[in-house]
Structures are given as structure tokens and as C-alpha cells.
């Protein structure tokens, strides 16, 4: 199946074949967030944001969506939308990303195998990844718990994740944007499982 995704800001989680309200699932499972969870999450997001500004010389860049991903090797893909390993460009997939960062939460070779992160090194590799002729070179990043990868989100950074062959791969993706309108729609997380945008959209439908 596809990676399971938790978006704290929107208050949503992928559950089986659908996205559901996170706070409803937490109520069902009888779990809750603590003040420490909230403090640590926001501190990490703030710290990563400062690092991204420094790395790219972009003091005005703003935090956008963030989500946890959980890739379980035991769940096979059922359709093309489940196939997370295809190469892509973040600005084309997500629209408003200017920079993308990924914080690894567990370690390749310890918690899982496969799942390396790969960048197209040259235009030939990039063209191949996007359906062109074969050839070109790729660079890989080995996921290690606590390692942060950050990159600009445009066509200069075509990338993909290798298939996870055993175990479970965990990561936190944090995006950044130059759009004030988009950034203002992603509120600081205050815990509680969030009712957020998803619930508002469901009430309007």
C-alpha cells in the first residue's frame, strides 16, 4: 500500500484506504498527545526552519505543510498511486514548495532495508526519471535517525525513494514556501489531534 501519512496541522491521517480525522481516530484508540509531544514537535519544526533559512540564504522563507510518513514493506502497492518510489519534482507535485526538508526518524540497516533517498545527478538521469531515455547518475542519501536532508524543490532536484524491502521506514517531511497566503493557512500545531482544515471541508461538503 501507499505510505501512511499523518498531518498534524490539518488534523488528518491516512487509515486503510482513506484519510480520516486524526482526533476521531485517537479517541477510538484512546490515545492523546501530551504537552511534551507538542513542545518537541514545534521546537523541531522551528529549528529546522532556521536551518533551512541559513542553508539557502532565504530569511523570508516560511513554513508550509509538514507530515509524518510511515512506509511498511509488508503492504504491497495496489495501484500506481501507491507506488511511492517513482521520481518526481516537489514543485510540480505540491505546487507551492520552495524548499523541502526530510528528518529521518529511524535508520536504514537497523529498522528496515531499502528506502534510500536518491537525487538525479545530471540532466540525463533526470530525463530518465521522468520518462526519457536511460542513463545518467544518481546520488543516494542513507537514512539515519536524526539526519536532516534539505533541498530546493524545483526541477534541479528530481528525486525518488527506493522501495522499502523489509521493515518500516519513518520520516518527517517539512516544506517551506515563499507564498504568505499558503503559509498562513498552515497554523502552528497546538495538539489535541487537530480538527483543522479537513473537518471544516467535510462540514462544508
Catalytic positions:
169
Q: Is 119 helix (H, G, I), strand (E, B) or coil?
A: strand
Closest of 191, 29, 178 to residue 96, by C-alpha:
178
Please state, in angstroms and rounded to a whole number, the distance separating the CA atoms of residues 1 and 13: 15
Q: Are 100 and 141 in contact (CB under 8 A)?
A: no
| Closest listed residue to residue 158, CA positions, set 128, 114, 113, 116 | 128
Length of the chain, in residues: 205
Q: 78 is written with which cell numbers?
A: 495496489
Residue 168 buriedness (CB in 10 A; 0-12 / 13-18 / 19+): middle
Amino acid at each position: 500500500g501507499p505510505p501512511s501519512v499523518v498531518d498534524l496541522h490539518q488534523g488528518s491521517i491516512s487509515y486503510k484506504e482513506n484519510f480520516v480525522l486524526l482526533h476521531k481516530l485517537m479517541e477510538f484508540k484512546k490515545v492523546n498527545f501530551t504537552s511534551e509531544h507538542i513542545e518537541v514537535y514545534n521546537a523541531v519544526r522551528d529549528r529546522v526552519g532556521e536551518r533551512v533559512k541559513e542553508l539557502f540564504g532565504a530569511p523570508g522563507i516560511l513554513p508550509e505543510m509538514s507530515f509524518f510518513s510511515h512506509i511498511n514493506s509488508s503492504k504491497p502497492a495496489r495501484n500506481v498511486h501507491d507506488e511511492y518510489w517513482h521520481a518526481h519534482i516537489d514543485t510540480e507535485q505540491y505546487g507551492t514548495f520552495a524548499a523541502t526538508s526530510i528528518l529521518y526518524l529511524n535508520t536504514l540497516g537497523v529498522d528496515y532495508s531499502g528506502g534510500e533517498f536518491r537525487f538525479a545527478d545530471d540532466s540525463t538521469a533526470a530525463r530518465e526519471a521522468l520518462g526519457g531515455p536511460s542513463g545518467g547518475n544518481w546520488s543516494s542519501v542513507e537514512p539515519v535517525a536524526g539526519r536532516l536532508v534539505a533541498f530546493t524543490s524545483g526541477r534541479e532536484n528530481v528525486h525518488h525513494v527506493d522501495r522499502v524491502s523489509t521493515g518500516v521506514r519513518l520520516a518527517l517531511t517539512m516544506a517551506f514556501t515563499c507564498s504568505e497566503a499558503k503559509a498562513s493557512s498552515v497554523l502552528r500545531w497546538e495538539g489535541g489531534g487537530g480538527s483543522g482544515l479537513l473537518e471544516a471541508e467535510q462540514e462544508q461538503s
